Amino acid sequence: MDMIKIDSQIYLDKGRKAYQIMIEKVKPSADRVIDGTLSVEAITQKLVNIIRSKSLNER
């Protein structure tokens, strides 16, 4: 149980801040943002759709 508390505290102290910085600095310039909480199948379908639409636009 102590390890869970320690890991949670590390995340709150360091990881969360890094994630917030990434959202502010990286996300605005990203070409696409995919929701990582979706199922593998849903993420795969979104990526396939992006690739297909990009291929059609380059023809």
pLDDT digits (tens, 9 = 90+) for 20-53: 888 898 888 888 889 999 999 999 999 999 999 8
Residue of 26, 2, 6 whose CA lies nearest to 14: 6
At residue 59, the pLDDT reads: 60
- Sequence letter at residue 26: V
59/44 Cα distance (integer angstroms) = 23
Structure token pair of residue 1? 């149980």
Structural contact between residues 53 and 35, judged by C-beta atoms closer than 8 angstroms:
no
For residue 14, name the pLDDT band (cuts at 50, 70, 90). Answer: confident
In Å, what is the CA distance from 6 to each residue of 9, 10, 13, 14, 17?
Answer: 5, 6, 10, 12, 16
